[in-house]
Structures are given as structure tokens and as C-alpha cells.
């Protein structure tokens, strides 16, 4: 199984990676520094967003899943985030605005 980075370190590195590539990225909600779960919201030019959630599969391989499909409207995204925060108050939410819709993660998006 791949060792886990602390959530805060992962988030800061992701934001730096996005900004270096010319995108805008920010922490919309700060979670637990050590081990909070991370959700990504990739805002697209067409007004929809791709939401990504971390998951482990098989023998611990980290992947990103699309809990709302390929494109979701703002109201669906907000409702999803509210439900997730009630379930996990240590949750991080990172928002990325990128014209190309890039995720800036190395792991597979499934």
C-alpha cells in the first residue's frame, strides 16, 4: 500500500502545481491537517464542475472517483459538499479554475 501524505501537504502541493500551470486554485474549506479527506472541484468555463473524491481500490491504490459524474451544476455540487461535511467535519475542499479542465492529480481518475 502506498503511504499517505498528510492532507495539508497534499493540498498545498496541489495548489502550487495548479498555479504554476496557470490555473487558479484555493482552499474552499480547510480540514484536518493530518488526515482529512480531500474533495476537488474543477470549475469549467461552461459553468459546470467536475467533483473528484479520493478512494482506494485493490491493494490500496489511490484513485479519484467522480461522485457526481462528468459535469454537475453548482446547486448539485453545493448540496453534495454540505452532505459530505455533515458526514466528515475534517473534510478539505479545494477549488480549481482551469480553462482546460485539468485536475492536476497524478493518480487515475475513474
| pLDDT of residue 60 exceeding 90 | no
pLDDT digits (tens, 9 = 90+) for 20-38: 999 999 999 999 999 889 9
Share of the chain above pLDDT 90, in %: 81
The CA distance from 100 to 20, in Å, is 14
What are the structural domains, with CATH classification, of the chain?
7-97 (3.40.1530.20)
- The pLDDT mean for the chain works out to 93
Q: How many CA atoms lie within 13 Å of 2's alpha carbon, on the beta-carbon side?
A: 12
Residue 29 CB neighbours (<10 A):
15
- Under a CB-based contact definition with an 8 Å cutoff, are residues 43 and 71 in contact? no
Tell me the three cell numbers of residue 10.
497534499
DSSP letter, residue 90: T
| pLDDT of residue 2 exceeding 90 | no
Name the band, by pLDDT with cuts 50, 70 and 90, for residue 1.
Answer: very low
* pTM score, whole prediction: 0.92
| pLDDT of residue 110 exceeding 60 | yes
Mean pLDDT of 84-97: 96
Amino acid at each position: 500500500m502506498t503511504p499517505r501524505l498528510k492532507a495539508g501537504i497534499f493540498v498545498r502541493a496541489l495548489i502550487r502545481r495548479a498555479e504554476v500551470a496557470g490555473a487558479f486554485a484555493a482552499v474552499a474549506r480547510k480540514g484536518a491537517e493530518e488526515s482529512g479527506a480531500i474533495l476537488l472541484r474543477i470549475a469549467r468555463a461552461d459553468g459546470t464542475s467536475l467533483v473528484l473524491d479520493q478512494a482506494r481500490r485493490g491493494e490500496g491504490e489511490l484513485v479519484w472517483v467522480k461522485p457526481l459524474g462528468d459535469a454537475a451544476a453548482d446547486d448539485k455540487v453545493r448540496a453534495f459538499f454540505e452532505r459530505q461535511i455533515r458526514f466528515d467535519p475534517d473534510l478539505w475542499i479545494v477549488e480549481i479554475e482551469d480553462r482546460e479542465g485539468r485536475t492536476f492529480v497524478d493518480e487515475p481518475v475513474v
